[in-house]
Amino acid sequence: MRKNTLTQKLTVQLADAIRAEYTSSTLHDGEFAALLSKRLGSPISERNVEGLRRNLDIKSRREVLREAEPSTVLDRLARLEAFLDKLEPKWRSQLG
């Protein structure tokens, strides 16, 4: 397997793009890498984005979403029960 080594210029361009756009985007590391690969005209891997993002102390999309979720098991359970309550009438109507 060949390691994806970036030039210094490309690394700086990638770091600038991560600083400017990553947190406002709704993309995960791999999706962001694909976007930048097209824009910069060079292969950018998910690992390239992940490594630079971590070095810049920028949280991943997954970490941000995880922090936004309810923090307790009881909150999660209540959301699940409410969701199932909404589905129950649909099930009953389909069963006759």
Query: What pLDDT is recorded for position 75?
Result: 80
pLDDT per position as a tens digit, 37-66: 999 999 999 999 999 999 999 999 888 877
Quote the CA–CA distance of 51 and 54 in Å, as a whole number: 5
Question: What average pLDDT does this structure show over 5-9?
Answer: 90
Band (pLDDT 50/70/90 cuts) for residue 92 is low
Q: Could you tell me how far CA 52 lies from the centroid of its own chain?
A: 15
Q: What residue spans define the domains of the chain? A: 1-58, 70-96
Q: At a CB cut-off of 8 Å and minimum separation 6, what does 50 contact?
A: 29, 60
Contact 36, 14 (CB under 8 A): yes
pTM attached to this predicted model: 0.66
